[in-house]
Amino acid sequence: DSGVTQTPKHLITATGQRVTLRCSPRSGDLSVYWYQQSLDQGLQFLIQYYNGEERAKGNILERFSAQQFPDLHSELNLSSLELGDSALYFCASSGYSNSYNEQFFGPGTRLTVL
């Protein structure tokens, strides 16, 4: 158990809908990262927050947004969902915002868009 929690574990929805994925980092970790794992794209970095502020952005679509709240939990919002958004979404956390810090991953949220 990495100490990172994600809810829900599974999510099934329809095209055009909007969903919110939630992540609670390990106790004391200030950085939260979101990754998407799909069959065709592999594991891709989406976005990072550090202590409430956006720190880095990767291949995140404009239909996706995220935020980190004062209690350090984070939410990833996916809107106008398409079939291709079906994937496993991971949240990870680390103590600081340095590239040498290992990131600990949550169990993931499996999103299925029908």
Partner 1 sequence: AQKVTQAQTEISVVEKEDVTLDCVYETRDTTYYLFWYKQPPSGELVFLIRRNSFDEQNEISGRYSWNFQKSTSSFNFTITASQVVDSAVYFCALSERNAGNMLTFGGGTRLMVKP
Where along the sequence are the contacts to partner 1 (CB under 8 A)? 2, 31, 33, 35, 42-45, 48, 55-56, 58, 88, 90, 92, 94, 97-108, 110
Residue whose CB is less far from partner 1, 24 or 94? 94
DSSP string, 36-66: EEETTTEEEEEEEEETTEEEEE-S--TTEEE
Q: Could you tell me which of 9, 55, 3 has the C-alpha nearest to residue 29?
A: 3
In the complex, the smallest distance separating the C-beta of residue 45 from partner 1, rounded to whole angstroms, is 4
Using CA atoms, how far apart are residues 9 and 49, in angstroms rounded to an integer? 22
User: By C-beta, is 13 or 105 nearer to partner 1?
Assistant: 105
Beta-strand relationship, 87-94 and 31-38? antiparallel
In whole angstroms, the minimum distance from the beta carbon of 16 to partner 1 comes to: 27
Give yes or no for a contact between 82 and 13, defined as CB atoms under 8 angstroms apart: no
> Minimum Å distance from CB 13 to partner 1?
19
**Measured from the CB atom, is 53 or 80 closer to partner 1?**
53
- Judged by CB, which is closer to partner 1: 67, or 97? 97
